């Protein structure tokens, strides 16, 4: 029953193409899209719970073009995260996108992207991951330019060029690596058997190429500028791009590369992670600082994403058990938090047609539940105990201290302050400015939109109180690495 593992990848892709072929009307299309994502979630959970770490070969052309899937704990968590958040987004997107009839193409790519992202999660070697990584660029591109305006096309082009540039660097790295190891499978601890004593520079080059290449999708400074531009996409898309699909695929690929291909010991030997640590710290600070200056709410969240991705990448450049754990936790928590924030901002955009900070005065009185959810998610992101953001940042700080790297906790604290500085104004403007409460008629979003927002906000709180199940799963993965 190994072939079972193909279903989570293929089902959304097939369902996506079926939209193109059958051209269903509004109701049928919604039914197909919703049922596909829910069924897929069930299949993914099946795989997560039932599958042992066995590999499944799709095609094996030769020793390098060997496409196969191998779900380990890391991949399983990512796949579960992706498919869960996709379900929420589908409900949200159906309301957000409206009854426009020619959205079949949009939802087609929407579903295909889910399949491809799960493909990234379950990939068993670097070449399979690279294939899905390229496909992800191609399948998300139509989503980014869904509005079809000149500005959207420009942003899309930027996205495409950045992504292909990154992928090309990755390919260069893969080629160099393959010439040395002849093996690209994901093995805990890396595929390099002995320390590269004779040519550490060569491995340093490989590491830098791979890190910077995958870093493009992970919005590593200086390759981050596609992400704010891509904000022209409809909100469900930007929330997905930010929370799970694209940037997290970049992070996930970085994790695979660091811990399962090169191996952290080799990287530490070459010293490459020290250079990258500098870039990561810059990413954290620069994202936060830029976010403060953004009037546009979506852009503000976009820069916030860049900063938060830096946190996650800390777990990839500081090789400590706690850092790994903290980074991984933050990848999950940031996904649920950021998607909530985006959903709230999107709801304001959709129902009130307001996009700028000064426009939303008093919106908290009009949409109290939405803005309350936003507040909860903001507190989580700032990292006030006992919210989930605190848990992950705690482990990240500990990891830095264990390495005797005192600058890491300092920057974490500073950035937490900055996070507060760019999120709190939104909340205060929404609740405490504008007309008094009794003058405002409450009008919350449609349930399709509101329920995902509230549920996700609740999930954030619950994850903060009970992170242990996830921590245990990550610890199992980490125990093979450290």
Partner 1 sequence: MIELIPFINILILIIFSFTIIIIKKDKIVKFMSLISNLAVFILSIFLLIQVLDNGTLLLNLGKSSSLLGIQFYVGPMEAVLSVVFTFVMLMILWFSYSSIENEISKSRISFFYILINLLLASLLGVIYSNDLFNSYVFIEVSTLSACGLIILKDKKENIKATIKYLIMSTIGSGLVLMAIAYVYSITGHLNISSINEVIISSYQNHNNAVLIILGLFTVGLGIKSAVFPLHSWLPDAHSSAPTPASAALSALVIKVYVFMLIKVLFRMFSYEIINDFIIMDIILLLGSMGMIFGSIMAIFQKELKRMVAYSSVAQMGYIVFGIGLGTVSGTAIAVYHIIGHAVTKSSLFLISGLFIEKTSSKKIEDLKGIGKEMPITLGLFTIGAFSMVGIPILPGFISKWYLSLTCIEVGRVPLILIILASSLLNVLYYFPIIINGYFGNENLEGKIYKSKKIELKRLMPVFLLVIAMILIGAFSSRLIDLF
Q: Mention every residue, 6+ apart, whose C-beta is less than 8 A from residue 450.
A: 347, 369, 370, 444
Cβ proximity to partner 1, 134 vs 361, nearer residue: 134
Closest CA to 241 of 222, 256, 226: 226
Cis peptide before 386 (omega within 30 of 0): yes
Cβ proximity to partner 1, 250 vs 399, nearer residue: 250
Phi-psi region of 118 (alpha: psi -120 to 50; beta: other; left: phi over 0): alpha
Contacting residue, 157, 158, 354, 480, with partner 1 by CB under 8 A:
157
Stretch that binds partner 1, among 159-167, 218-226, 320-328, 415-423 (CB under 8 A): 159-167
Cβ proximity to partner 1, 62 vs 443, nearer residue: 62
Binding mask 229-258 for partner 1 (x = CB under 8 A): ------------------------------
Contacting residue, 39, 46, 147, 403, with partner 1 by CB under 8 A:
147
Pinpoint the alpha helices (H) of 182-199.
none
User: Strand, coil or helix: what is 384?
Assistant: coil
Question: Distance of alpha carbon 48 from its chain centroid, rounded?
Answer: 19
Cis peptide before 342 (omega within 30 of 0): no
Residues in the chain: 482
How many CA atoms, within 13 angstroms, populate the side-chain half-sphere of residue 224?
A: 25
Q: Note whether 175 binds partner 1 by CB under 8 A.
A: yes
Contacting residue, 1, 3, 49, 59, with partner 1 by CB under 8 A:
59
Q: Note whether 31 binds partner 1 by CB under 8 A.
A: no
Q: CA-CA distances (angstroms) from residue 21 to 14, 17, 157, 361, 440?
A: 10, 6, 27, 46, 47
Contacting residue, 14, 38, 176, 451, with partner 1 by CB under 8 A:
176
Q: Note whether 156 binds partner 1 by CB under 8 A.
A: yes
Q: Which residues ranging from 115 to 134 are in contact with partner 1 (CB under 8 A)?
A: 127, 130-131, 134
Asked if 252 and 182 count as a contact pair (C-beta separation under 8 A), the reply is: no
Q: Which residues ranging from 415 to 444 are in contact with partner 1 (CB under 8 A)?
A: none
What is d(CA 438, CA 454) in angstroms, rounded to the nearest whole number? Answer: 24
Q: CB 61 → partner 1: shortest distance, Å?
A: 6
Q: Note whether 171 binds partner 1 by CB under 8 A.
A: yes
Phi-psi region of 182 (alpha: psi -120 to 50; beta: other; left: phi over 0): left
User: Strand, coil or helix: what is 283?
Assistant: helix
Q: CA-CA distances (angstroms) from residue 26 to 16, 103, 149, 364?
A: 15, 9, 24, 32
Q: CB 444 → partner 1: shortest distance, Å?
A: 31
Cβ proximity to partner 1, 157 vs 480, nearer residue: 157
Q: Note whether 161 binds partner 1 by CB under 8 A.
A: yes
Q: Note whether 153 binds partner 1 by CB under 8 A.
A: yes
Binding mask 81-120 for partner 1 (x = CB under 8 A): ----------------------------------------
Stretch that binds partner 1, among 31-39, 171-179, 250-258, 302-310 (CB under 8 A): 171-179
Contacting residue, 142, 346, 383, 464, with partner 1 by CB under 8 A:
142
Stretch that binds partner 1, among 77-85, 149-157, 433-441, 449-457 (CB under 8 A): 149-157
Q: CB 92 → partner 1: shortest distance, Å?
A: 23
Q: Note whether 480 binds partner 1 by CB under 8 A.
A: no
Question: Residue 366 is inside which H or E element, if any?
Answer: helix 363-366
CB-CB neighbours of 466 under 10 Å = 11
Q: CB 172 → partner 1: shortest distance, Å?
A: 6
Stretch that binds partner 1, among 158-166, 219-227, 346-354, 430-438 (CB under 8 A): 158-166
What is d(CA 227, CA 209) in angstroms, rounded to the nearest whole number? Answer: 20
Q: Mention every residue, 6+ apart, whose C-beta is less than 8 A from residue 184.
A: 64, 125, 126, 127, 174, 177, 178, 191, 261
Q: Which residues ranging from 61 to 80 are in contact with partner 1 (CB under 8 A)?
A: 61-62, 64-65
CB-CB neighbours of 179 under 10 Å = 10
Q: CB 184 → partner 1: shortest distance, Å?
A: 12
Q: Note whether 208 binds partner 1 by CB under 8 A.
A: no
Q: CB 426 → partner 1: shortest distance, Å?
A: 31
Cβ proximity to partner 1, 156 vs 255, nearer residue: 156
Contacting residue, 35, 54, 168, 472, with partner 1 by CB under 8 A:
168
Phi-psi region of 271 (alpha: psi -120 to 50; beta: other; left: phi over 0): left
Q: Note whether 165 binds partner 1 by CB under 8 A.
A: yes
Cβ proximity to partner 1, 175 vs 414, nearer residue: 175
Question: Residue 59 is inside which H or E element, if any?
Answer: strand 56-60
Contact footprint for partner 1 (CB under 8 A): 59, 61-62, 64-65, 127, 130-131, 134-135, 138, 141-142, 145, 147-150, 152-153, 156-157, 160-161, 164-165, 168, 171-172, 175-176, 178-179
């Amino acid at each position: 029953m190994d072939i079972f593992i193909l279903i989570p990848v293929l089902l959304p892709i097939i369902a996506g193409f079926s939209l193109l072929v059958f051209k269903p009307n509004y109701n049928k299309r919604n039914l197909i899209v919703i049922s596909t994502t829910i069924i897929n979630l069930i299949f993914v959970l099946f795989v997560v719970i039932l599958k042992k770490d066995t590999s499944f070969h799709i095609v094996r052309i030769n020793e390098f073009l060997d496409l196969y899937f191998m779900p380990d704990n890391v991949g399983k968590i990512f796949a579960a995260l992706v498919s869960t958040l996709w379900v929420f987004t589908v409900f949200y997107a159906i309301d957000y996108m409206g009854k426009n009839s020619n959205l079949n193409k949009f939802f087609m790519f929407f579903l295909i992207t889910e399949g491809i992202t799960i493909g990234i999660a379950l990939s068993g070697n670097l070449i399979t991951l690279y294939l899905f990584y390229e496909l992800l660029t191609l399948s998300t591109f139509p989503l980014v330019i869904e509005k079809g305006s000149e500005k959207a096309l420009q942003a899309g082009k930027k996205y495409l060029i950045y992504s292909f540039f990154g992928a090309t660097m990755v390919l260069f790295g893969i080629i160099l690596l393959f010439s040395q190891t002849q093996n690209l499978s994901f093995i805990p601890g890396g595929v390099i058997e002995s320390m590269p004593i004779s040519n550490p520079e060569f491995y340093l080059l490989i590491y830098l190429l791979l890190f910077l290449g995958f870093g493009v999708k992970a919005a590593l400074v200086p390759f981050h500028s596609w992400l704010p531009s891509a904000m022209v996409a409809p909100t469900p898309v930007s929330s997905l791009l930010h929370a799970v699909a694209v940037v997290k695929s970049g992070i996930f690929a970085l994790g695979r590369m660091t811990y399962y291909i090169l191996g952290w010991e080799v990287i530490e030997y070459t010293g490459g992670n020290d250079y990258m640590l500098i870039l990561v710290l810059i990413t954290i600070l620069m994202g936060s600082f830029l976010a403060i200056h953004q009037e546009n709410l979506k852009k503000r969240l976009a820069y916030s994403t860049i900063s938060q991705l830096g946190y996650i990448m800390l777990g990839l450049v500081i090789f400590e058990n706690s850092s790994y754990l903290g980074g991984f936790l933050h990848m999950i928590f940031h996904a649920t938090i950021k998607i909530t924030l985006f959903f709230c901002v999107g709801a304001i955009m959709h129902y009130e047609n307001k996009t700028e900070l000064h426009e939303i005065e008093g919106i908290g009185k009009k949409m109290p539940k939405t803005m309350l959810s936003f507040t909860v998610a903001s507190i989580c992101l700032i990292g006030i105990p006992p919210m989930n953001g605190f848990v992950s940042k705690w482990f990240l700080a500990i990891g830095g201290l264990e390495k005797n790297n005192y600058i890491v906790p300092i920057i974490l604290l500073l950035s937490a302050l900055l996070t507060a500085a760019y999120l709190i104004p939104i909340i205060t403007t929404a609740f405490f400015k504008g007309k008094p409460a009794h003058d405002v008629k409450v009008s919350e979003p449609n349930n399709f939109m509101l329920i995902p927002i509230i549920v996700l906000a609740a999930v954030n709180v619950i994850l903060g109180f009970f992170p242990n199940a996830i921590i245990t799963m990550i610890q199992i993965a980490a125990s093979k690495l450290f």
